[in-house]
Every structure is written in structure tokens, then in C-alpha cells.
Structure 1
Amino acid sequence: MELKLTGKKALVTGGSRGIGRGIVLGLARAGADVVTCYRTESEAVTSLARELKEIGGNHQLVKADVSDPAEVDALVEDCRTSLGSLDVVVHNAGVISHVPFAELPVEEWRRVVENNLGGPYLVTQRALPLLSAGASIIFIGSRVATVGIPLRSHYTATKAGLVGLTRSLAKELGPRGLRVNVVAPGPIETEEPAPAEVRERYQKMIPLGRLGTPEDVAGVVAFLASDLSRFVNGETINVDGGI
């Protein structure tokens, strides 16, 4: 039993940094052809393009804002042109901020909701015509969806919304042979390391004694993208070290 993605065609939103970058590189190394999008030009985009070229395969980086319907349409058209169809869609793009609920401006509520929940809605809907039977839709949620966290009520609400969206779509799209699942990371250390005191606090809370890495999340995404998970549908898989 092997995890192989050779011949799979994937779209990963928000793939230039952090967890998204780990997912893009993990899928590419497993043999998938990957289209990913980013919002702003940066060295992270340039270095990702370089790494994907070294891995080999048919990979594309596209500038797109997933909260903008026109830009999502253009992104999906890029997928159609370069890949023809899609076997995997990973919704990673999102935004976050830390604001006391009593002071949370309606503009910031809308920004977070439109990106974290509206983006997955737009991309999934627009990509449906490209999804082949057996395709896997994967939402990157968060462990906070079920436990909550102060100052992030708007962010937590969107991640909880992805769980409901997943359960409904799993039932609605299942007859088409499409699977829909959530991967919910816990504390993950990316290229922007957490402060020492934060890392120490989480290490005491996590039975495995460490923060997660983007590669830890990417491994679960690769499983859900593969045929090994062909009977996994409507689930939320926590990747949190047992916190």
C-alpha cells in the first residue's frame, strides 16, 4: 500500500508560505501537478517557483485573491488551461487578526468571513466543472473551531463554518463521487517562529512535546488527496499532536 499522487492534478490556494507552501511542495514531491495561487509578489513566491522547478512536473503559480469572484474565475480558467481537469482542491488561503469582540469592526468581520469562508465557497463552486469522479476537496480548518480562542471570534467562526460546509457538501457531492473533508491543524510553527514563551506553553499542552510543522499537515492532506482515503468523506481530521 503506497501513497502515490502521480498523474493527480491539484489546486492549492494560498500556497506561497507556511502550511500552504508545505502542502504544495508535499503534493508535488508525491508526483502531483500543482497550480497554486498567492495574493502579493514576494521572495516567497520566487523561491517556491524555484523549488517546484527543481522537483519537476507541470506546476503553475498564479496571482489571485480568492475573495474576488473575477479573480477566482481567472484562477480556475488557468487550471483548465494548464491541467485540463482537477483531482484535488485544497483550500488553504485565509486571513487572521486579533481583535476583542467588543471592538471588532464590521469591516474586519466581513474581510475575514469573505476570505476564510467566502473564498472556499467561490473556489469550490467555480471548480466543480473541472472535478473528475473520485476527486478530493480539502478545507484547511483549525483546531480552534471546536475549542474557541479569545480575540479571534471572527476567525474561529469561519473555521467552524468550514466544518458545516464540509458535512453538507459531502452529502450533496458524494453521489458524484466527490469527497469533502477538513484538515484542522493545531499549533504549527512556520517560517515565522513563535516567541519562545508561546512555544514553551504549547509544548507543555501537547503530549508529543512539540509544535507541528507544515510537513505534518501536508502528510495528512496527501493522504486525503490519494486513493488510500477513497472512503473518507465528511470528516474533520485534527493535526494537533493531541493538545
Structure 2
Amino acid sequence: MLGRETMARVAIVTGGSRGIGRATAKQLAARGDAVVVGYAGNAELADEVVAEITAAGGRAVAGRADVADEKEVAALFELGEKTYGGIDVVVNSAGIMTLSPIADLDLDALDRMHRTNIRGTFVVLREAARRLRDGGSVVTVSTSVVGLQLPAYAGYAASKAAVEATSLILARELRGRDITVNTVAPGPTATSFFLDGKDQETIDRMAKQPPLERLGTPEDAAAMISFLTGPEGHWINGQTIRSNGGII
């Protein structure tokens, strides 16, 4: 039997068409994983990721799924199983963010955010718990704002605090299957997700927060995810890693 170090593995990456998810899909493919690039709406971007992976000699296929829709998520897992034979790695990078002071927060926006970030996490993790092959790995994506607790981030931070709690509980529930479940919580990262709607002064100020004095990159977060889902990181389990350059 092939060991974890040598077995060709299959990864699902939700939110894989852009940002941290895109960088993660490419890094996992570069190390030899076959990747299912999950996306919510932009098929063109997802197809670009697949094309980049295959052009570099990797294996990838794109699949559309609203992470909060259990039937679509099940179909995404089935795509990986039918195309590559099974699922070993699940990275739930899909998420949305609405910023607002609590006093002004639109509750419909809060519901939409929590539907994707909380319900979506539950749906993806439930499917992972049912389908992941023994010896696999799961990584969810949170945010360092859970610890920083910045004004205007309350709704988003609350949704990601739920992600962190849920992930730890799943790690404990999967006892006996040699499956790890961890969370990566990036700080400010140079993606459209973070940059859109912010003026340059705000971006520059937030870039100065960590002692390393720069924004994170999608590749920074992807490298941590790759480590946690690889053989070298398999002893790490049930943890939230604040990958943020040292922001306190």
C-alpha cells in the first residue's frame, strides 16, 4: 500500500478561482495533488486556474458549487471521486465579507454573509466528514480579525469565529481516522477580497501593522495550507494558525 508521502492525492478547494483559494489550488497541484477547483459563479476564472495547472503538468478540473447548498457541494465531491477516485484533502476557502459598524449593519447582508461563511462551512465539513479517505486533511480559512476585533468587522468576525470553533470540534469527532482538521487565519492579504473598497491610506496603514511591515500574499496563506495538508504537517491537528506576519 502507498503511504501518505507517496500516494497521489486528490484535493477539493472551494473558492478556488481567486485569491487564497486560487493560490492554494496551484500550490497543491504543484506538489502532485489532483485538484477540484470549486467556484461559485465565475467559470472563466476557474477555467483559467485549471488551464494554468494543466499547462504546468498538473491535474485539475473545475466544478461549480454554492457552498451553502448541500446538493451542489455533494456534487462537487462526487466530481472529485468520479474523476480521480476519491478525496484526501478539503480546503474551504470560500467566503464573503460585509463591513459595517454594528449600529448600521444591514441584517440581510449579515444573513447572506453567515449563510456562506457559517452554513457553507458546515455543509463542506459535513461532506468532508462523510467522504474523506482516512489519512486525509481538512483546512478551513478564518481571519486574524477574530483576534484583532477591529471596528466594522463584527459580523464577519462572528462568522469566522464559528468557523474556528466548528473546525476544532470536527477534528475531535474524526478521532480514529487519522484525519487532521485545522484553520488558517490570515491577516490583511493583498487580494481583491481585502483591497476592494479601501483607500490607499487605509491599505498602507494596515500593511504597517505586522512587524514584517507588508501585506500578506495569497501565496503566504497557501504555503501554510499546503504544509498543514502535507505529510510534514500531519501532526498538527485542531489548531488555528494566525498566519499574519506577527500582528498581535
* TMscore range, shorter length: over 0.9
**Contact 1:16–1:45 (Cα < 8 Å) also in 2:** yes
TM-score by length of 2: 0.90
**Contact 1:5–1:226 (Cα < 8 Å) also in 2:** no
Task: Compute the displacement of 1:129 (Å).
Answer: 3.2
Task: Compute the displacement of 1:5 (Å).
Answer: 7.6
Q: SS of 1:205's equivalent?
A: coil
Quick one: percent identity of the two aligned structures? 37
Q: 2:227 aligns with which of 220, 223, 228?
A: 223
Whether 1:165 aligns to 2:166 is yes
More deviation in 169-178 or 41-50?
41-50
Task: Compute the displacement of 1:97 (Å).
Answer: 1.0
Structure 1 residue ranges (4+ consecutive) displaced by more than 6 angstroms after TM superposition: none
Equivalent residues in 2 for 1:14-53 (5 A)? 14-41=15-42, 43-53=44-54
Q: Which amino acid aligns with 1:34?
A: V
- Count how many residue pairs are aligned between Structure 1 and Structure 2: 241
What RMSD over aligned residues (CA atoms) do the two structures have, in Å? 2.0
Residue of structure 2 equivalent to 1:181? 182
Equivalent residues in 2 for 1:55-204 (5 A)? 55-190=56-191, 194=195, 195-204=199-208
Deviations 1:187-231 (A, max 9, x none): 110257844323321232211121110111111111011011121
Measured in 2, the distance between the counterparts of 1:63 and 1:167 equals 27
Measured in 1, the distance between the counterparts of 2:169 and 2:50 equals 35
Structure 1 residues not aligned, in runs of 5+: none
Deviations 1:145-184 (A, max 9, x none): 1221222211100111111112211111132211110001
TM-score by length of 1: 0.92
Q: SS of 1:151's equivalent?
A: coil
Whether 1:232 aligns to 2:236 is yes
In structure 2, do the counterparts of structure 1 residues 237 and 197 end up closer, same or farther at CA, with 3 Å as the change threshold?
Answer: same
Measured in 2, the distance between the counterparts of 1:105 and 1:197 equals 26
Measured in 1, the distance between the counterparts of 2:214 and 2:118 equals 29
Measured in 2, the distance between the counterparts of 1:166 and 1:190 equals 24
Structure 2 residues not aligned, in runs of 5+: none
Q: Which amino acid aligns with 2:173?
A: E
Q: SS of 1:27's equivalent?
A: helix
